[in-house]
């Protein structure tokens, strides 16, 4: 439990991380193997490619109570399906606009790019994003 970092969960924040199975999901797994802690607020949803991300998935996450949503995909140019991550970037940008329209801070949604070998970077992104959401406070509950 200690190594999973659960004792550090000092907020009721929920952050959903949609992670591509070819990179970010593997990086999160690697972070675990390397015993690098990342915030327990982060809940990972494995997806086959960030290109599968849909505006509706992202909005539904917020509707279900998520305070922040991150989409983590492969580095640009390295998508397993060639350009899924580029499409995801556009969809994330569009959804940020949908959130702004209804007065929800667009910073609560962000796309990140990393490779499967970057366990440390995944933890760093997770930490920074969680800090950002903590500063923004609770979302729409």
* CB nearer another protein, residue 35 or residue 141: 141
Residue 1 binds another protein, judged by CB under 8 A: no
Other beta carbons less than 10 A from residue 9's beta carbon: 12
Closest distance of CB 103 from another protein, Å:
6
Buried b (16+ CB within 10 A) or exposed e, 95-122: bbeebeeeebeeebbbbbbbebebbebb
Closest distance of CB 63 from another protein, Å:
5
CA 64 to chain centre: 15
Q: What is the CA radius of gyration of the chain?
A: 14
Among 11, 29, 46, 59, binds another protein (CB under 8 A): 59
**Binding span for another protein by CB under 8 A among 4-12, 58-66, 108-116, 128-136:** 58-66
List residues binding another protein (CB under 8 A): 54-56, 59-60, 62-63, 98, 101-104, 140-141
């Amino acid at each position: 439990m200690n190594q999973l970092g659960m004792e550090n969960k000092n907020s009721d924040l929920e952050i959903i991380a949609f992670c591509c199975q070819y990179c970010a999901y593997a990086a999160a797994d690697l972070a675990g193997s390397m015993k690098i802690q990342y915030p327990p607020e982060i809940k990972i949803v494995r997806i086959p490619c960030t290109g599968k991300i849909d505006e509706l998935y992202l909005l539904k996450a917020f509707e279900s109570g998520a305070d922040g949503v991150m989409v983590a995909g492969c580095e640009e140019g390295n998508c397993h399906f060639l350009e899924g991550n580029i499409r995801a970037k556009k969809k994330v940008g569009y959804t940020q606009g949908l959130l702004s329209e209804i007065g929800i801070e667009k910073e609560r949604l962000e796309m990140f790019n990393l490779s499967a070998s970057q366990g440390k970077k995944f933890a760093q992104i997770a930490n920074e994003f969680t800090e950002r959401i903590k500063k923004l406070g609770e979302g729409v509950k």
